[in-house]
């Protein structure tokens, strides 16, 4: 299918559906027309064409009802590609449509108090009981769990084998009895994250994604997509966090000093080369020559966001000593660029921790891109139950 054909399809759809009518009806119809994510297969919201052609659709449908990408981030960026890759036909038909329209929100039950960077050592257990699994454990750093209908969950189904081999991937029903979501207050004052306690939660075997014991491989798909989702979004020149800081700089000449100026210019250069590297990466992907650059984009994004948001607070002087609101409340969505400078500074601290710490990402770059040998491992061939903890 050519770009012209996709465009005419989108125009035809727009002629038949009133974007001013019911928002949800419009989005459902758009999904059914294959215009949700064009690279997905026909019948699952796509057309089975190259993902670059999505831009064509977005241009035609600009100004029509849009997704709430903040609240839907985990569903769209992580759950959907994983379900597409590992789900059964039935699971794809059941989950993808309401996931895309936003009727059902998703969250991610991966990290645990005892398993962060070493995710594969996680201890949440899933024990088979006939056609069901009984899940017990505790998850943490779960954004949006308080309005999620479903979660992607990794749990241990075999403690007698080495840690990577005993995991299984599930879709968790967040409305099931035994799921307890508690807000977790963060350094910003609000609770964007939660801790989730799972006590005797019964999940049908039809909620299992992939084979029993294959959960680590399935989770890799989710994590790779997560890193692209956090660091790989296109920005225009001077956009994103540098745009926020440059705006302060331009509108408040009284705040300028020579030292701040030097540092701002340095960061502006870094933001621009990072943007160009992202653009180059997308060109490589479009040309079918996927480069290893992707693994590094989140690293750059995190470092830049932190430096820029820190400079923004410093630059504001007296105003930088104030904070917009410490009230403990649940946030509705993740917003790196919103609210006050103090909030942005504190929120950015999470950028080098969430979705793989910068330390782990450096290991990934060093080992998988640069081919450097791994550190000696003491936990590789030891059954999970025998690991020291």
Partner 1 sequence: MTLLYTEVEEELRASVRDLLADRCGPDAVLARIESAAPYDMELWKTLSRDIGVAGLLVPEALGGAGATAREVAVVLEELGRAVAPVPFLTSAVLATRALLEIGEEDLIQELASGDVTAALVVPLAASPYRSPAEAVTVGADGTLSGRVRAVAGADVADVLLVPAGPGALYRVTAEHARIEVAPSLDLTRPVATVTFDGAPGEALGHVERRKVLSFGAGLLASEQLGTAQWCLDATLAHIRERHQFARPIGSFQAIKHRMADLWLDVVRARAAARNAADLLAEPAGDSPELAVAVAKAWCSEVALRVAEESVQLHGGIGMTWEHPVHLYLKRAKAGQIALGSPGAHREALARLADLPGPL
Binding flag, residue 316, partner 1 (CB under 8 A): no
d(CA 150, CA 72): 12
* 279 touches partner 1 by CB under 8 A: yes
Residue placing its CB nearer to partner 1 in the complex, 187 or 273: 273
Binding-residue pattern over the window 203 to 242 for partner 1, x denoting contact by CB under 8 A: -----------------------------------x----
d(Cα 99, Cα 76) in Å, to the nearest integer? 7
Does position 333 interact with partner 1 (CB under 8 A)? The reply is no
Would you mind telling me the total number of residues written for the chain in this entry? 389
Q: Cα separation of 100 and 94, whole Å?
A: 12
Alpha-carbon distance 103 to 259, whole Å?
A: 49
State in angstroms the smallest separation of the CB of 363 from partner 1.
Answer: 6
Binding mask 334-363 for partner 1 (x = CB under 8 A): -------------------------x-xxx
Q: Which residues pair with 383 in a beta bridge?
A: 162
Find where tokens 């081919």 sit: 371
Residue 284 interacting with partner 1 (CB under 8 A): yes
Please tell me which residue in 226, 272, 322, 375 is annotated as part of the active site. Answer: 226
Q: Does 288 bind partner 1 (CB under 8 A)?
A: no
Residue 299 binds partner 1, judged by CB under 8 A: yes
Q: Contact between 301 and partner 1 (CB under 8 A)?
A: no
How many C-beta atoms surround the C-beta of residue 53 within 10 A?
19
**b/e map of 308-332 (b: 16 or more CB within 10 Å)?**
bbbbbbbbbeeebeebeeeeeeebe
According to the binding rule CB under 8 A, does residue 130 interact with partner 1? no
Task: Determine which residue in the list 283, 322, 332, 335 makes contact with partner 1, applying CB under 8 A.
Answer: 283
- Total residues interacting with partner 1, rule: CB under 8 A: 46
Strands 179-184 and 125-129, by their bridges, are unpaired
* Nearest-approach distance from CB 296 to partner 1, in angstroms: 4
Q: Is 331 in the site for partner 1 (CB under 8 A)?
A: no
> What does the alpha-carbon distance between residue 117 and residue 105 come to, in Å, rounded to a whole number?
25
Other CB atoms closer than 10 Å to residue 69's CB: what's the count? 15
Cα(373)–Cα(197) distance, integer angstroms: 38
- Contacts within 8 Å (CB) and 24+ apart, 360-369: 360/117, 361/227, 361/295, 361/296, 361/298, 361/299, 362/299, 364/295, 365/292, 365/295, 365/296, 365/299, 368/292, 368/295, 369/292, 369/295, 369/296
Residue number, 20 or 371, with CB nearest to partner 1: 371
The reply to whether 226 belongs to the active site is yes
Q: Which of 85, 115, 114 is nearest to 220 (CA)?
A: 85
Q: Which is nearer to partner 1, 111 or 300 (CB)?
A: 300
Our finding on whether 369 is near partner 1 (CB under 8 A) is yes
Q: How far is the CB of 290 from partner 1 (least distance, A)?
A: 12
- Single out the residue of 347, 356, 369, 132 nearest to residue 241, CA to CA: 347
Query: Interface with partner 1 includes 172 (CB under 8 A)?
Result: no
285 contacts partner 1 (rule: CB under 8 A): no
Residue 1 contacts partner 1 per CB under 8 A: no
Q: Does 280 bind partner 1 (CB under 8 A)?
A: yes
Cα separations in angstroms, 277 against 262, 284, 312: 23, 10, 24
Q: Pick the binder of partner 1 from 199, 262, 328, 335 (CB under 8 A).
A: 262
Q: Does 273 bind partner 1 (CB under 8 A)?
A: yes
Contact between 373 and partner 1 by CB under 8 A: the answer reads yes
Least distance in angstroms from the C-beta of 118 to partner 1:
14
24 scored as a contact of partner 1 (CB under 8 A): no
Q: Which residues are catalytic, by number?
A: 226
Binding site for partner 1 (CB under 8 A): 238, 246, 249-250, 253, 256-258, 261-262, 264-266, 268-270, 272-274, 276-277, 279-280, 283-284, 287, 289, 293, 296, 299-300, 359, 361-363, 365-367, 369-376
């Amino acid at each position: 299918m050519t770009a012209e054909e996709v465009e005419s399809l989108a125009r035809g759809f727009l002629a038949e559906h009133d974007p001013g009518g019911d928002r949800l009806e419009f989005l459902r119809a758009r999904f059914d027309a294959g215009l949700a994510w064009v690279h997905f297969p026909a019948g699952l919201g796509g057309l089975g064409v190259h993902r670059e052609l999505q831009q064509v659709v977005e241009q035609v449908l600009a100004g029509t009802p849009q997704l709430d990408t903040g609240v839907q981030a985990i569903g769209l960026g992580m759950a959907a590609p994983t379900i597409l890759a590992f789900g059964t036909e039935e699971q794809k038909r059941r989950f993808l449509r309401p996931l895309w329209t936003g009727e059902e929100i998703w969250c991610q039950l991966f990290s645990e108090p005892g398993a962060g960077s070493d995710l594969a050592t996680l201890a949440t257990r899933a024990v088979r009981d006939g056609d069901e699994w009984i899940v017990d454990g505790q998850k943490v750093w779960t954004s949006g769990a308080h309005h999620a209908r479903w979660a992607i969950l990794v749990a241990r189904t075999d403690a007698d084998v080495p840690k990577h081999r005993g995991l299984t991937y599930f879709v968790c029903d967040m409305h099931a009895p035994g799921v307890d979501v508690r807000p977790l207050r963060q350094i910003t004052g609000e609770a964007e994250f939660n801790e989730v306690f799972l006590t005797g939660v019964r999940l049908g075997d039809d909620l299992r994604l992939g084979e029993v014991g294959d959960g680590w491989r399935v989770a890799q798909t989710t994590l790779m997509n997560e890193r692209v989702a956090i660091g790989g979004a296109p920005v225009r020149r001077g956009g994103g966090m540098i745009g926020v800081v440059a705006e302060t700089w331009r509108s408040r000449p009284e705040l300028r000093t020579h030292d701040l100026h030097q540092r701002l210019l340095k960061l502006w250069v870094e933001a621009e080369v990072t943007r160009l590297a992202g653009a180059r990466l997308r060109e490589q992907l479009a040309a079918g020559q996927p480069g290893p650059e992707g693994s590094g984009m989140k690293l750059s994004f995190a470092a830049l966001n932190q430096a820029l948001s820190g400079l923004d607070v410093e630059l504001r002087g007296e105003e930088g000593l104030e904070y917009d609101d410490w009230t403990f409340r649940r946030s509705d969505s993740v917003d790196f660029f919103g609210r006050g400078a103090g909030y942005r500074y504190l929120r950015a601290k999470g950028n080098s921790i969430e979705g793989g710490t910068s330390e782990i990402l450096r290991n990934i770059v060093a080992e998988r891109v640069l081919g450097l040998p791994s550190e000696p491992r003491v936990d590789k061939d030891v059954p999970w139950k025998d690991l020291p903890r």
